Amino acid sequence: MGRPRVFIIDDHADFRRLLGHHISARWPDAELQYYDPVIAGRLPATFAGAGSDIVLLGHPAAHADALEWLRQLRSVPHCPPVVFLGNGDERQVVAAIKAGAEDYITKATLSHARLVEVLEQVQAGRAVPGTGKAAIPLPPGGMPGLPGYGFLRVLSEGDISSVYLARERAGGRIAVLKVLRQVPDAGTDRHFDRFLQEYELIARVDHPNVVRIFDLGVADDHAYIAMEYCSRGSLKRRITAGISSEQAFAWMRVIAGALAALHAVGIYHRDLKPTNIMFREDDSLVLIDFGLAKQAQFKAGITGTGAIFGTPYYMSPEQGNGSIVDQRSDIYSLGVVFYEMLTGARPFEGEVAMAVIIQHREAPVPCLPGSLARFQPAIDRMLAKRPEDRFQSADDVLAWRPAAQAPASAEGQ
C-alpha cells in the first residue's frame, strides 16, 4: 500500500486521533483529514471523499445513526470505499454491509493489526471492475471458495469449524456458513459421515424453532452448511439482561418443542446452551449449531489447560463421562438452560472443566429461591443424575405444568 489518503469521521476527537495514530505508525507519510460531525454538521449531499482513498466512518455521527451517513456517501458517484466503525451489534454489521460498507470494525475491539489489515485490503485494489466497490475480502487464511456465496465477515473460528457471515450472490440473502476445517477421506470418518447425515435430516425438519438450512455440500475440499442468519442475538444476551420467570418457562417450552421435532427423526442436539439458542428479527426463538460427534464437541469445549469455554457447564453426567447419550441428555441440558434463565446463574460452577463435570455427576440439584419454588419439580426431574429418573422425552417436558402459585409468594411481593 502506497501513501494512503484517509478521511476520518467520528464524534470523538480522542478516537479520531487514535485512528490517525495507528495509520501514521504504519504509513508515516499518510495524508489524514479529520471531520468532527458534532461541530461541522452533516456532510454536503454531494461530498465524494475530498480526494481521499478511504473514508473511516464512526458510529454515531453527530449523535445520530451513522448508517444514514453511509447510505448518503455510497449514493455519490466516485465516493471512495467506506469502512464503518460501529458497536459490534450483529444487526448493525449486516445493515452496514448491505448499505455498501467495504468492511466493518468494532470500536471496542479495535486493534492496530485489524485496522491496518482492513486498510491494506481496501487499498490493494480488490475492486469489482465497473462497480466502484471493493471486492469481498478474505479473512486470514481465507474462506474456502464456496460456490454462490460472497464473504462478509468471520463470526467465529474453532478447532473443528469456522463460521462466516456471507451473502448469496444470486438472491442477496444473508446466510451463516459453517465450514469444517478439513474433509476426511470419504468413508474413513464415521463422525464426519454422521455430521453430514444429520444436517441432511435437519434440512428436512419443518419446525418454526429449528434453524433453516439453505444448503449443504462439499466444495474446495471443505464441507459446509449454509443456514439462516438470526440477527437479534443469542439467549445468553437475554439471560444477562434478566428474564421473568414466566418468560423463562415459555421459552423453555419452545425449546422443548424444537427438541421434540429433532428427537422424532433421531437427531440429538448434544450441544444445547444459551449461545446456541438464537432469535430472528421477528424475535422468534431458533435452535442452531447442532454438535458434531460428542468426542469432537468435548475436545472443543476444553482447552489444553483445562479452562472452560462453556460446553461442560451444560453437559449431562453421561455426556461428561463420555458415555452414549440419547434424548434424555438433551433434556438435562435443557434443565441447565432453564435454571440459568430463571436465576441468571448456572447450577454448577468451577475453575476447571473436570470440577464442573464432577458436580454434574455428584452434586445435589440446587434449590431455586422461594419465589421460584413452583418450578423446582421440573428442575429436579430435568437435572436428575440418572437418565431413567428424568423426563423421558421432550413431550413429557411439554406435558408438565407448575403448581398454582400462592398469592403470598408471588414474585415482586
Query: What positions carry a catalytic annotation?
Result: 271
Q: Helix, strand or coil for residue 201?
A: helix
- Show the cell assigned to 32: 489524514
Omega into 60 within 30° of 0, i.e. cis?
A: yes
Instruction: From residue 290, give the alpha-carbon distance in Å to each of 68, 210, 268, 275, 277.
Output: 37, 10, 8, 12, 10
Cα angle: 390, vertex 392, 397; to 5 degrees: 85
Bridge partners (DSSP) of residue 167 are 150, 174
Amino acid of residue 94:
V
Instruction: Give the bridge partners for 277, in sequence order.
Output: 287
Nearest residue to 85 (alpha-carbon basis) of 30, 10, 20: 10
Q: How far is residue 137's CA from residue 119's CA, in Å, rounded to a whole number?
A: 11
- Distance (Å, whole) CA 384 – CA 327: 14
Q: Are 391 and 358 in contact (CB under 8 A)?
A: no
Alpha carbon 210 to its chain's center:
16
> What is the rounded distance in angstroms from the CA atom of residue 154 to the CA atom of residue 176?
10
289 to each of 178, 191, 275, how far by Cα in Å? 9, 16, 9
Q: Provide φ and ψ at 126, rounded to 5°.
A: -75, 70
Q: How far apart are CA 291 and CA 225, in angstroms?
A: 13
For residues 1 and 151, what is the distance between their CA atoms, to the nearest angstrom? 22
230-246 core/surface letters (b: 16 or more CB in 10 A; e: else): bbbebbbebbeeebebe
